[in-house]
Amino acid sequence: MNAEYAFGYAVSLANRYRAGITLLHVLEDMSPYRDSLMMNILGEEKWKGLMETNKEKIIQDLKDGLGKFCDSVSAQLPACPFITDDIVVKIGNPVEAILEQAEEMDCDLVVMGTHGHGILGDAMIGSVSRRVLRRSKKPVLVVRLPQK
């Protein structure tokens, strides 16, 4: 629901300007403490092999899910066609990954949703959105997501 809300803005803009859309999903990197603990238990090579296999499966599952999501949105908005240029899934720091991807692909605009959590949630945007907005060399559209 929330992803569709923010994605609707991206679709509308892409349709209006005949632009393509690249979907980016960033999984936060695993905890270094947990990784070192598991390396001690399983051995470094076995743990790294297991992590790489799982990482590839997670990335493929997310890409498949995002592809289905695009198909679903496209079916709901037949009057607003859009082109999905690429579906990218990265693992790492979300802010750094978003900024790197925007520069690497020379994006015209970054569209992202935010909830704005905490006591001042109504007055502030989320920390990832805020940091991307502050550091991005590209224009950023931050879409306030509806409350659940």
Determine how β-strand 20-27 pairs with β-strand 110-114.
unpaired
Task: Give the range of the structural domain holding residue 99, as residue numbers without chain letter.
Answer: 2-144
The average pLDDT across 90-107 equals 92
Q: What local confidence, expressed as pLDDT, does residue 66 receive?
A: 74
Contacts of 20 (CB under 8 A, 6+ apart): 14, 82, 83, 84, 85
Q: What local confidence, expressed as pLDDT, does residue 36 receive?
A: 72
Q: What local confidence, expressed as pLDDT, does residue 113 receive?
A: 87
Residue 106 identity: D
Determine how β-strand 83-91 pairs with β-strand 110-114.
unpaired
Selected residue with higher pLDDT from 83 and 77? 83
Determine how β-strand 20-27 pairs with β-strand 140-144.
unpaired
pLDDT for residue 59 is more than 60: yes
Question: How many domains are there within the chain?
Answer: 1
Residues of the chain with pLDDT > 90, as a percent, come to 20
pLDDT tens digits, one per residue of 106-133? 999 999 988 765 555 544 556 888 899 9
Reported pTM: 0.73
| CA R_g for the chain | 18
CATH number at residue 75: 3.40.50.620
Q: What local confidence, expressed as pLDDT, does residue 122 receive?
A: 46
With bands split at pLDDT 50, 70 and 90, how would you rate the model's confidence at 34?
Answer: low
The average pLDDT across 16-38 equals 77
The average pLDDT across 27-39 equals 67
Contacts of 17 (CB under 8 A, 6+ apart): none
The average pLDDT across 61-81 equals 75
